[in-house]
A and B are shown apart, each in its own frame.
Chain A
């Protein structure tokens, strides 16, 4: 186990295009960090730089107290779970788990002990002699995790490990990963584009956009005080409304800010409210309904309890503490 420190980490490809720039991050021993952002934001590149699969062109990666920029992936004491699992198809599950230990000349008895232990933790004991192709998606996922934990590495790196699973399994595996990490207390970096996965797994979130860090913080911090319009729109579902301030001139602070952010659940019907919304499409979700519409020409979505009639004009109000004010050009939070 170890802490990981990224110091001004950056990546410029030989062609000159920049994938990642100026990432500063201190990861404590045993912490679960989630890198989240839309596809192409550089989160996978960042993870692969920590793993040693991608060369580092700027800055430093430290694992423990060692700078590992030039260290081979095998010698970084990390284990990685790949999106497509990358199980060796010609080896049995047992051989898959043992391969990394065998390469490190671990004694046979020790290999057997660790493989059996990992198999017990992940409940893949019955499949140890099968080939990966005879396993279901969820089982393969477990084997991939098993391959990481038998090594007892300083850190786990996860590269979108759940995105090949169906929705139901994804939720189940998400809980298992969280549980497992709590039990093993191994420092983990987890990459995903799914903000829900990010929120539920992370001790701290790192929101990335176009190769830059937009915000680092606990999931609740990031949710409650998004640092920019990008984070505000990315974290939380349904997404926060980002309304031009001139469309809602009666709200406090709208004189100074260019963009006012209000979460859909924070906009509540109020006959005397200062905001008038023209109701458009309605999505029934069962427990709640999402109402899409316009406020002075700006698109707005609100979440309402799923009962009662809706008129085609609604008056809305929002508590002053539920308003997020952002600058126009930089998109940064103002307070």
Chain B
């Protein structure tokens, strides 16, 4: 890296200021507020606040609703990750086999990533709308009565599809790049070594993709846990009967709808710790363990 020496002491700080300001105002300050408020309790009218120590956290652990939300989040995150990575890998392998039209397909497949989560949510909400949607109509033909407003399973499937759909493009791009980085001669050598296409994929291609796969695994879990708020809010709003009430949505709901600031802040802090853990895993593992 090239080192630049500034003659003016003030200039580097000025140049850094916008980024520092954004980091401080939108990240450090709210995070600090969340941590502070997680130790406080506000009365119903917002007049008195009192320090309650870890009471908010203890209440969370005792709350069956919160534990249910953790479970829902786990199911949701794992499903979104598996679906989005699985489909993306399938598409990437298919595109990687093409010689001429690969670029066209890649471009087309990347489009969904440009769609905002809430818009994606609305889109799927329309498609799966029990009254006017096309999918319930199609499912009805094969004898399935789709209703995500009353069925917990249907609701979960809907939010998983809507969330995974958006992420497929992102995963796809990384998988295509990963596949193209594997020398063709490696697969040719395996072909001469008597491995059929399926064997070749599992013995050669997939292991060589493992750095990409692990990176995407962490990215997708983070996405499913924290960035799917818009999808949930636009489709199920956490329902029915809290069946899609993932942790991030519960933070919003308890804090802004339920006005229980202390509990909401405590939940945020838990999520913050989760992100930090995932990030550490990401850095430690990706760089060291997953290599060949």
Q: Which residues from chain A sit less than 8 Å from chain B, CB to CB? A: 51-53, 72-74, 78-80, 82-84, 86, 88-90, 99-100, 103-104, 131, 133, 147, 151
Q: Which of B55-87 contact A (CB under 8 A)?
A: none
Q: Are A90 and B192 in contact (CB under 8 A)?
A: no
B195 contacts across to A, CB distance below 8 A:
74, 99, 103
State whether the Cβ of B18 lies closer than 8 Å to any Cβ in chain A: no
* Nearest CB of B to A142, in Å: 15
Interface residue? B25 (CB, 8 A): no
Are B192 and A78 in contact, CB atoms less than 8 angstroms apart?
Answer: yes
Contacting residue for A86 out of B189, B194, B196, B203, CB 8 A: B189
Measured between beta carbons, the chain A residues less than 8 angstroms from B131 are: none
Contact with A along B202-224 (1 / 0, CB 8 A): 01100110100000000000000
| Chain A residues within 8 Å of B183, by CB | 84, 86
Do A74 and B191 touch across chains, with their CB atoms under 8 A apart? yes
21 A-B interface contacts by CB (under 8 A): A51-B192, A52-B192, A53-B188, A73-B191, A80-B188, A80-B192, A82-B185, A84-B185, A88-B204, A89-B208, A89-B292, A90-B208, A90-B210, A99-B190, A99-B195, A99-B203, A100-B192, A100-B193, A103-B194, A103-B195, A151-B193
Interface of A is mostly: loop
Q: How far is the CB of A153 from chain B (nearest CB, A)?
A: 9
Beta-carbon contact of B199 and A88 below 8 Å: no
Q: Whole-angstrom distance between the alpha carbons of A131 and B207 in the complex?
A: 14
Q: How far is the CA of A74 from the CA of B188 in the complex (A)?
A: 10
Instruction: Give the shortest distance, in Å, between A77 (CB) and chain B (any CB).
Output: 10
A82 touches B188 (CB 8 A): yes
> In the bound complex, do residue B186 and residue A88 qualify as a contact, i.e. CB atoms below 8 Å apart?
yes
Q: CA separation between A90 and B190, bound complex, in Å? A: 13
Q: How many residues does chain B have at the interface if contact means C-beta atoms less than 8 Å apart?
A: 19
Question: Which residue on A lies nearest to B199, using beta carbons?
Answer: A103
Cβ–Cβ < 8 Å partners of B199 in chain A: 103
Structural contact, B208 and A86, CB atoms closer than 8 A: no
**A82 CA / B208 CA spacing, docked (Å):** 18
Are B194 and A100 neighbours in the complex by a CB distance under 8 Å? yes
Q: Are A80 and B189 in contact (CB under 8 A)?
A: yes
B191: nearest chain-A partner, CB-CB: A73
Report Cα–Cα, A53/B188, bound state, in Å: 7
Which residues of chain B have C-beta atoms less than 8 A from A78's C-beta? 192
B193 and A103 form a contact (CB under 8 A): yes
Given contacts A84-B185, A103-B199, could you give 12 more A-B pairs where the C-beta distance is less than 8 Å? A52-B191, A79-B192, A80-B188, A80-B189, A82-B185, A82-B189, A83-B185, A84-B183, A86-B188, A90-B292, A99-B195, A147-B193
- Assuming the contacts A99-B203, A103-B199, A131-B292, asked whether A86 and B191 have C-beta atoms less than 8 A apart, the reply is no
Q: In the complex, A133→B291 CA distance in Å?
A: 11
A51 to B185, CA, bound (A): 12
Q: Nearest Cβ in chain A — how far from B101, in angstroms?
A: 13
Q: Sort A-B residue pairs by CB-CB distance and give the 8 closest, nearest first.
A: A90-B292, A100-B193, A103-B194, A86-B185, A86-B189, A74-B194, A82-B185, A90-B207
Expressed in whole angstroms, the Cα–Cα distance for A104 and B186 within the complex equals 18
0 or 1 for each of B174-198: is its CB under 8 Å from A? (1 = yes): 0000000001011011111111100
Contacts of A89 in B (CB 8 A): 208, 292
Q: Which residue of B lies closest to A151 (CB)?
A: B193
- Roughly how many angstroms separate A103 CA and B193 CA in the complex, as a whole number? 7
**Distance of B251 from chain A, by nearest CB (Å):** 41
Contacts of A151 in B (CB 8 A): 193
Cα A89 to Cα B199 with chains together (Å): 16
Q: Of the candidates A73, A88, A90, A100, which one forms a contact with B188 in the assembled complex, judged by CB atoms under 8 Å apart?
A: A73
CB proximity of A91 to chain B, nearest CB, Å: 8
CA distance A51 to B189 in the complex (A): 10
Specify which of A84, A90, A99 is in contact with B193 (CB 8 Å cutoff).
A99
Complex: how many Å from CA A76 to CA B153? Answer: 52
- Which chain B residue has the least Cβ–Cβ distance from A98? B193
A151 to B189 alpha-carbon distance, docked (Å):
13
Closest-CB distance, A234 to chain B (whole angstroms): 26
User: In the assembly, what is the distance between CA of A151 and CA of B192, in Å?
Assistant: 11
A86 to B185, CA, bound (A): 6
Chain A residues contacting B210 (CB-CB under 8 Å) are: 90
**A151 to B194 CA separation, bound complex (whole angstroms):** 11
Task: Check A74 against B193 for contact (C-beta < 8 Å).
Answer: yes
Output the least CB separation between B167 and chain A (Å).
27
Chain A residues contacting B203 (CB-CB under 8 Å) are: 88, 99
Give bound CA distance, A88 to B187, whole Å: 9
> How far in angstroms is the closest Cβ of chain B from A155?
11
- Chain B residue with the shortest CB-CB distance to A89: B292
Q: Residue among B191, B194, B210 with the most chain A CB within 10 A? A: B194
Whole-angstrom distance between the Cβ of A87 and the nearest chain B Cβ: 8
